[in-house]
């Protein structure tokens, strides 16, 4: 295991804050039941650098700590000594986004049953809920190419994501890309909830879609929000989420 004090002494205050928030984000994914054993991943840029932090491969999300996160460069080379390796597929997906999106500080990717179920539908995410409004305003799709182990896929993922903040990977899962860790989490909460609602609604009667005019208005609204310092507003619930972790799964800040 890593020594929290030793790691903290080697990094800047800004990096340590990012480590604490990223470790908390991993714990929250586990708390909400969106983890997939040791698989899937969340990355965060180290402030002021091109390096990013990602989970140590082999730890479950509910045991990840600030000091155990692995720092790598865009080539996947470790930038600090660590007893852990990283998930190669995680490196491919996350480095692809961090290479080209200077506005993105955090990339969050999960494999929930509801997310994969919606990703396997030809029509993708439908305009069935208020949650879907926010997602559809900035949604991309990237077709399945198998386990993401090949570097040549990165260019296609970058092209498909473009400047958007939500992505559905058909037959695979969900992804959010945001300017902060709290925003990436809130956006994933919204995307995941939209998928849950869609799957539930499809098991009932005739569906009511949100009119196109409302969708267009939401797209303009979200585009404006994303340009503000508040972003998607993830900073608002984040302190409460950290307090929830402190009650139910403390130790992420070690």
Domains of the chain: 4-248 (3.40.225.10)
137's CB contacts (< 8 A; 6+ apart) are 215, 218, 219, 221, 222, 223
Indicate the angle between helix axes 153-161 and 88-100, nearest 10 degrees.
Answer: 50
Burial (CB count within 10 angstroms: exposed 0-12, middle 13-18, buried 19+), residue 70: buried
For 67-118, write each residue's pLDDT tens digit: 999 999 999 899 998 999 998 877 889 999 999 999 999 999 999 999 999 9
- The half-sphere exposure of 52 on its side-chain side, counting CA atoms within 13 A, is 29
SS3 39: strand
For 164-201, write each residue's pLDDT tens digit: 999 999 999 999 999 999 999 999 999 999 999 999 99
Query: For a pLDDT cut of 70, what percent of the chain falls above it?
Result: 98
Report how far residue 126's alpha carbon sits from residue 108's, in angstroms, rounded to the nearest whole number.
Answer: 21
Q: Please say whether the beta carbons of 52 and 34 come within 8 A.
A: no
Mean pLDDT of the 203-209 span: 93
pLDDT the model gives residue 1? 65
pTM, full prediction = 0.94
pLDDT the model gives residue 6? 87
Lookup result for tokens 């208020």: 130
Across all residues in the chain, what is the average pLDDT? Answer: 93
Name which residue leads in pLDDT, 227 or 237: 237
């Amino acid at each position: 295991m890593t020594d929290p004090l030793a790691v903290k002494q080697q990094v800047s205050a800004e990096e340590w804050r990012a480590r604490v928030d990223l470790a908390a984000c991993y714990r929250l994914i586990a708390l909400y039941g969106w983890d997939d054993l040791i698989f899937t991943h969340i990355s965060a840029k180290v402030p002021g650098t091109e390096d990013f932090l990602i989970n140590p491969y082999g730890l479950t999300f509910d045991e990840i700590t600030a000091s155990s996160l692995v720092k790598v460069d865009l080539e996947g080379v470790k930038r600090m000594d660590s007893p852990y390796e990283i998930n190669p597929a995680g490196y491919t997906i996350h480095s692809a986004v961090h290479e080209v999106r200077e506005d993105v500080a955090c990339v969050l990717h999960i494999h929930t049953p509801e997310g994969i179920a919606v990703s396997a539908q030809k029509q993708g995410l439908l305009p069935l809920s208020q949650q879907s409004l926010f997602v559809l305003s900035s949604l991309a799709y990237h077709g399945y190419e198998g386990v993401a182990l090949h570097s040549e896929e990165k260019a296609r993922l970058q092209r498909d994501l473009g400047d958007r903040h939500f992505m559905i990977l058909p037959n695979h899962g969900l992804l959010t890309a945001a300017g902060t860790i709290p925003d990436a989490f809130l956006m994933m909460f919204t995307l995941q909830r939209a998928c849950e609602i869609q799957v539930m609604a499809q098991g009932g009667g005739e569906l009511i879609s949100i009119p196109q005019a409302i969708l267009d208005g939401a797209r303009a609204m979200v585009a404006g929000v994303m340009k503000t310092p508040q972003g998607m507003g993830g900073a608002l619930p984040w302190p409460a989420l950290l307090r929830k972790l402190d009650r139910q799964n403390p130790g992420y800040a070690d």
